């Protein structure tokens, strides 16, 4: 059954609008996934969409209609709103007229180290602030076949609209753990014999000289400060990417891609 809501004072509309703020995402345990491509990825994943809000104009487009039919068949709550209300809910500059609302999830390390009998390859975000960087790293981790992503306290909120959109749907394909401390990370990884590799300029090895064929967690640090000292000291190895031009450094998401695809290369010859 499709619901029609035309009042901005409606309780549901107010609740969804509040999800643009982190404190309400945390309190309600929910988040928004906005845009046709993102909602398509939600619908195709095993992460159920609780609520879909859309406009009649969006529903008139064939591609949008297909994803709406899929969500309806999955017993998702479907709500149509006028353009002006949708635009107030939207977190984008050019709204596409469709968004999903989903429950937040917290994966476990067990899921990451037992996924599809793969050798674990985990990406850890330590203090990465930019939502675009965080989302792009998650997207890259998905493309490289990683078994999970861990986001330490103080990093960008994985459930913020900009981060979700930057993942281009990869958020819905990977186990994600958020909000743990470096101490908890070290204890967890050591308990399951996962190799800890950090990016660092201190006493570091060139990234392609390191063995990525065993269970591995690659720790990427803050855009300005890098990986915290506590993690560097406990790491099994530190990595660097040689810079042969005049640039001082690489963007952290670019660095993630370079290192992850070296792991892909090494594992491809097993």
Boundary of a domain, candidates 103, 135, 152:
103
The answer to whether 109 and 188 are in contact (CB under 8 A) is yes
**Helix boundaries (H) for 74-208:** 83-89, 109-113, 131-143, 161-166, 182-191
Boundary of a domain, candidates 38, 70, 103:
103
What tokens appear for 196 in the block? 């800890």
What tokens appear for 120 in the block? 């674990």
pLDDT, one tens digit per residue, over 107-131 is 999 989 987 788 999 999 999 999 9
Provide the strand spans (E) within 66-118: 77-80, 98-103
Is 269's pLDDT higher than 90?
A: no
Q: Indicate which CATH number applies to the domain containing 62.
A: 3.30.1330.30
- Clarify whether residues 138 and 26 are in a common domain: no
The answer to whether 158 and 90 are in contact (CB under 8 A) is no
pLDDT, one tens digit per residue, over 33-46 is 999 999 999 999 98
Residue 125: other Cβ atoms inside 10 A: 26
- Clarify whether residues 11 and 62 are in a common domain: yes
- Clarify whether residues 34 and 123 are in a common domain: no
What is the tally of structural domains in the chain? 2
The answer to whether 40 and 67 are in contact (CB under 8 A) is yes
- Clarify whether residues 84 and 131 are in a common domain: no
Q: Identify the CA nearest to 238 among candidates 212, 210, 199.
A: 199
Q: Indicate which CATH number applies to the domain containing 237.
A: 3.40.1280.10
Boundary of a domain, candidates 54, 70, 103:
103
pLDDT, one tens digit per residue, over 190-229 is 999 999 999 987 778 999 999 999 999 999 999 888 999 9
| pLDDT score, position 4 | 96
Is 270's pLDDT higher than 70?
A: no
Q: Which residues of 244-256 are buried (b: 16+ CB within 10 A; e: fewer)?
A: eeeeeeeebbebb
| pLDDT score, position 248 | 84
- Clarify whether residues 253 and 166 are in a common domain: yes
Domain of 247 in residue numbering reads as: 109-268
């Amino acid at each position: 059954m499709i619901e029609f809501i035309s009042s901005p004072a409606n309780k549901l509309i107010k609740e969804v609008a509040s999800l643009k703020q982190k404190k309400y995402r945390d309190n309600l345990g929910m988040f928004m996934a906005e845009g046709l491509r993102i909602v398509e990825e939600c619908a195709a994943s095993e992460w159920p969409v609780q609520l879909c809000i859309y406009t009649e104009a969006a529903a008139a487009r064939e591609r949008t209609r297909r994803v709406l039919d899929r969500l309806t068949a999955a017993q998702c709550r479907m709500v149509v709103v006028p353009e002006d209300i949708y635009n107030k809910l939207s977190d984008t500059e050019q709204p596409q007229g469709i968004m999903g609302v989903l429950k937040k999830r917290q994966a476990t390390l067990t899921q990451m180290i037992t996924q599809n009998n793969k050798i674990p390859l985990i990406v850890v975000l330590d203090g990465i602030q930019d939502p675009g960087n965080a989302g792009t790293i998650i997207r890259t981790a998905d493309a490289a076949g990683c078994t999970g992503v861990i986001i330490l306290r103080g990093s960008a909120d994985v459930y913020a609209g900009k981060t979700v959109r930057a993942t281009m749907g990869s958020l819905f394909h990977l186990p994600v753990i958020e909000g743990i401390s470096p101490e908890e990370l070290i204890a967890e990884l050591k308990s399951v014999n996962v190799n800890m590799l950090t990016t660092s300029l201190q006493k570091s090895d060139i990234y392609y000289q390191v063995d990525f064929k065993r269970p591995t967690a690659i720790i990427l640090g803050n855009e300005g400060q890098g990986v915290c000292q506590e993690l560097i000291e406990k790491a099994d190895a530190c990595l660097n990417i040689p810079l042969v031009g005049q640039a001082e450094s690489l963007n952290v998401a670019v660095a993630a891609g370079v290192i992850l695809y070296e792991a892909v290369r090494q594992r491809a010859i097993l």
